[in-house]
Amino acid sequence: MRTQGTIIIRGIVQGVGFRPFVYAQAQKFDITGTVKNLGSEVEIHAFGDRFEEFLGAVSRGPPLSHIDSVEVRDLRGNRPEEFVILGSSSGSLSGFIPADVAICDDCVSDILTPGGRYEGYWATSCVNCGPRYSIITAIPYDRERTAMEAFPMCAACKKEYTDPSCRRHHAQTIACAACGPRLSLLRADGTPVLGDPIQEAAALLDAGFIVAVRGIGGFHIACIEEAAGELKRRLGRTEQPLAVMVTAGEVERIAVVSDEDRRILHSRERPIVVLAKRDPASHAGISNLHTIGCMLPYTGLHHLLFTHLAHPLLVMTSANLPGHPMITDLAVALGRLSDEVDYILTHDRRIVNRCDDSVVRDGYIIRLSRGLAPKRAAIDLGDACILGVGPELNANISVYRNGFCITSPHVGNVRNPETLAYLQETAEKIGGLVGARYDTVVHDLHPQFLSTRYAREVAEATGAEILPVQHHRAHIAAVTRDECVGIAIDGVGYGDDGTVWGGEVFAGRVPHLDRVAHLEVVPMPGGDLATRFPERMLYGILPTDPIRDLLSSRGWSDMELAVLARQVERGLNVAATSSTGRVLDAAAALLGICRERTYDGEPAMKLESAAYAGRPAAWEIEFSRDGGCEVLSTRALLSEAHRRLLAGARVGDIAASVQYNLARGIAVMAVRVAEERGIPRVALSGGVAYNKAIRETVLGEVRAAGLEVVMNREYPLGDGCISFGQVVYGGSVGVRRSTGK
């Protein structure tokens, strides 16, 4: 039996309290020696008769760690008298810093317990909780390489920091009211408000004022439910649903919460969870859908606000334009939010790395961000170092090196210079933290995306190979590398033939995915204009006199209709698309549910809400062949919907039937391909799969055929998975160069 040895533990071992955890185990098992942080691994020299017990304990790690491997090497020398924590040094960069996590129950108790030294202190945290990614500047993770460097520890904090029996032992974020970051409450013009910032902010919120709140990864805008309408008016988002922060008891009162939802709500990641309302018509001023996004308080500041609030619910939305980066700087907030908020509750701890709230629905990730990202996944893609720069909308980046892929938090819509700059900043930060030297840069097939331009710049600067990947193939690559029939249903993606894809069925194995079926290719009159005004999409699919009469009855002029008709007839400024999202948009327009899109996904989301109480009926589905692919007729589907509308059928029933038959038709095509090619599994991805009725219909049809279904629960179903899929695709192509080692 061994009594001494060098233990090398690799994985996510920084910022998780690993060294103090090892120290505590050493005391427990009478072990002497040292522990040292070496970048992404911990090196332990251990001596003692209970070495094997100690090894078993440290191999499990503290709560926030993730262990990849444990190696034991021979160790010679005499046993020292004590166990010592040594200073950090750089070493392997195969691991990564963990994501920001919610304040733990012990720290909540500390701030709410009268008489303790942390009573009422908003930035309380320990080795088991609090900010990590949002404050780090470099690896190894020590206080001097975080935003906490600006706050030297007082004597009391230093005592706890060096006390092995304290859970704040070597907690880099340790701080208290005497030495830590401080809060201030400002008017929108920047002048200070006297009094306790949290108490005053709570009173202002209760009175109906709108307050910007600086959090872990950026600013939010908060208000009570009664002020939601005014907030939407100021933001210019009168239709967009907003998320709420609520107490645990209140969320059970307003929404239907499954066991899985409850687990996610209370997890240390604390994402926004999209839930069905108990009363679909309730809280309409916050969300006019049948769902509402809820999150529990996840910082000490949030918990303290709720102790002073009379209201159990706060609207809490990101203080930035949709698709743009979170605002992190006070000066920027004062400049941009003066017309939108009345007050600003802020602090003086620098936000090094932005991080928006994560969003989850039915256990599937919608937005990969705070708590869930940066995400580190073990995957063998060979020895090349690969960068995936993502798509245009809902973008993030992924970096692969040495058997691990790191995916960044949500960046936004890379259609403007500000978000492009944030994408570049994120890629440089994460690439630097993992020591990346790129062999391959993978980008979307669309030649005009700003992310494509950035990929070319990186490749030119580094000498890396550049690889374009079709959007929907990246979707499937993010789900599985096994042979499959892949269904990708979403809004838009540039296709091999230059048309706009979005309702696709593939067959094969990454990187060889053949397009074998798709939705009918239909005109998008005006291109992107048809996504804003879905009645244009409706006419593109059904350019008939009855539809012209319908549009005329809704206020379209004869001249507007004539121009629209000429566009479709002559193909002037008309894109061709097989997009699932555009079909749902057209259905929403047909039924009068949404005539203008004011936020991403609005027509389809409102169609889903209208269908929530409806009863679907099976309609006849029409198929054809085109260029070797099977094609589902969406014209026939919408023609039947129009016929039933004219016959007086309920809008909710028609909406439910459109969703059901569209999903059933897609599934039928996928099953046929699987049976013809002898492929046992079907992969499903794309933003439309968040629609529960559509998703469950596809899954039901596929399973009924005896096929396996695979979906991605580790990455978003929408475009937030694309950068990861790009990296997987790039690794599957098989580029190998020595610089990636």
What does 263-304 look like in DSSP terms, one character per residue? HHHTSTT--EEEEEESSTTTTTTT-SSSEEEEE---SHHHHH
- Position 321 scores a pLDDT of 81
Mean pLDDT of the chain: 94
For residue 90, give both structure tokens. Answer: 């750089």
Q: How many CB atoms lie within 10 A of CB 545?
A: 8
- Position 89 scores a pLDDT of 66
CA torsion sign for 194, 198, 201, 203 is: negative
Each residue of 292-316: b (16+ CB within 10 Å) or e? Answer: bbbbbbbbbbbbbbbeebebbbbbb
Cβ pair 720, 396 in contact under 8 A: yes
Cβ pair 399, 96 in contact under 8 A: no
- Position 94 scores a pLDDT of 53
Q: What is residue 438's three-state secondary structure?
A: coil
Cβ pair 716, 356 in contact under 8 A: no
Residues facing 485 on adjacent strands: 507, 682
d(C-alpha 616, C-alpha 316), whole Å: 35
d(C-alpha 468, C-alpha 335), whole Å: 39
Residue holding tokens 């009159």? 525
pLDDT, mean of residues 596-608: 96
Beta-carbon contacts of 594 under 8 Å, excluding residues fewer than 6 positions away, are 534, 585, 588, 602, 603, 606, 607
Element (H, E) at 428: helix 417-434
Long-range contacts of 542-545 (CB under 8 A, 24+ apart): 542/586, 542/635, 542/638, 542/639, 542/642, 543/568, 543/569
pLDDT, mean of residues 537-555: 97
Do the strands 32-39 and 83-85 form a parallel or antiparallel pair, or are they unpaired? parallel
pLDDT at 401 over 60: yes
Give the Cα-Cα-Cα angle 594, 596, 598 (nearest 5 degrees).
Answer: 105
pTM of the model: 0.93
Element (H, E) at 35: strand 32-39
Among residues 549, 614, 547, 603, which one has the least CA distance to residue 579? 603
| pLDDT band at residue 412 using 50, 70 and 90 as cut-offs | very high
- Position 736 scores a pLDDT of 42
The CA-atom distances, in angstroms, between 729 and each of 256, 270, 464, 712 are: 39, 31, 16, 16
For residue 281, give both structure tokens. Answer: 């018509």
- Position 95 scores a pLDDT of 57
d(C-alpha 606, C-alpha 625), whole Å: 32
pLDDT at 741 over 60: no
CB-hemisphere CA count at 13 Å for 627? Answer: 8
- Position 677 scores a pLDDT of 97
Better-predicted residue by pLDDT, 685 or 13: 685
Residues facing 255 on adjacent strands: 277
pLDDT at 737 over 50: no
| pLDDT band at residue 740 using 50, 70 and 90 as cut-offs | very low
d(C-alpha 342, C-alpha 190), whole Å: 10
What digits encode the pLDDT tens for the residues 249-260? 999 999 999 999
Residue holding tokens 């269904």? 487
Do the strands 681-685 and 484-494 form a parallel or antiparallel pair, or are they unpaired? parallel
- Position 17 scores a pLDDT of 84
What digits encode the pLDDT tens for the residues 170-206? 899 999 999 999 999 999 999 999 999 999 999 999 9
Strand ranges for 340-483 from DSSP E: 343-347, 359-361, 364-367, 375-378, 386-388, 398-401, 404-407, 440-444, 465-469
Cβ pair 619, 301 in contact under 8 A: no
pLDDT above 70: percentage of residues in the chain: 98
d(C-alpha 22, C-alpha 55), whole Å: 10
What digits encode the pLDDT tens for the residues 269-296? 999 999 999 999 999 999 999 999 999 9
Residue holding tokens 């610089």? 739
pLDDT at 324 over 90: no
Do the strands 500-509 and 512-519 form a parallel or antiparallel pair, or are they unpaired? antiparallel
- Position 138 scores a pLDDT of 84
